[in-house]
Amino acid sequence: MALVALIAGVLAGCVTLTPEQQETLDDVRRFADATAAAYNVPRIRVNVEPGTNLGIGGRYRQGNFYINVGMIYSRNLNSLVAHELAHYVLGHDVPVAGASMAQFQLAQELRELDANAKAVEILMRVKGMSEKDAVGTVVAHLRGAQRAVERGGPIAPGHRTPTAEIADLLARYPGNTLD
């Protein structure tokens, strides 16, 4: 696992961006910096990784946010970034514990659900969105993930089905009925 992280870190520096992509990445970094300031945590490093077909748009590890280069122009960029920043704000660096793989998986799934809810809060607090718009932003992202799963794509590692994650998020933010 450490070797994979090391290789990913090395590859992260090998992505060449267009000026437009660099401008978007700079916006992501400003979003990350504003989130760190809002939650009184140290700044997080934002790195770009080469695109993959693994269904992973971004990930957070040990003070680093890695974004898949293919996500830079995604309409779900704000949701993705807020979700990964939520892992950081929530302190999800500590490995999950579990006596069995089932317990480990459950603990990781609960982290993902918490990160979805915190992403809504971050979008409201840092981006100035209303609760309805923030919930809608995260739900739209999860609906896109569900459509990908329905086309045979993978469920992101550690996550429940996107439909289950939507249900959890709407239960945490009642009153946000969506089309």
The first and second tokens of residue 34, run together, are 């504003």
141 in any annotated domain: yes
Virtual torsion, Cα 51, 147, 20, 47, nearest 10 deg? -40
89 in any annotated domain: yes
179 in any annotated domain: no
94-142 per-position pLDDT tens digit: 777 777 888 888 989 999 999 999 999 999 999 999 999 999 999 999 9
- How many separate domains does the chain show? 1
The domain in which residue 37 lies consists of 2-172
28-77 per-position pLDDT tens digit: 999 999 999 999 999 999 988 877 655 567 777 778 888 888 888 889 99
41 in any annotated domain: yes
26-37 per-position pLDDT tens digit: 999 999 999 999
Q: Report pLDDT for 58.
A: 74
85 in any annotated domain: yes
45 in any annotated domain: yes
The structure's pTM equals 0.86
Query: How many residues are given for the chain?
Result: 179
Q: How far apart are the first and last CA of the chain?
A: 41
178 in any annotated domain: no
Output phi, psi for 55, to 5 deg: 75, 20
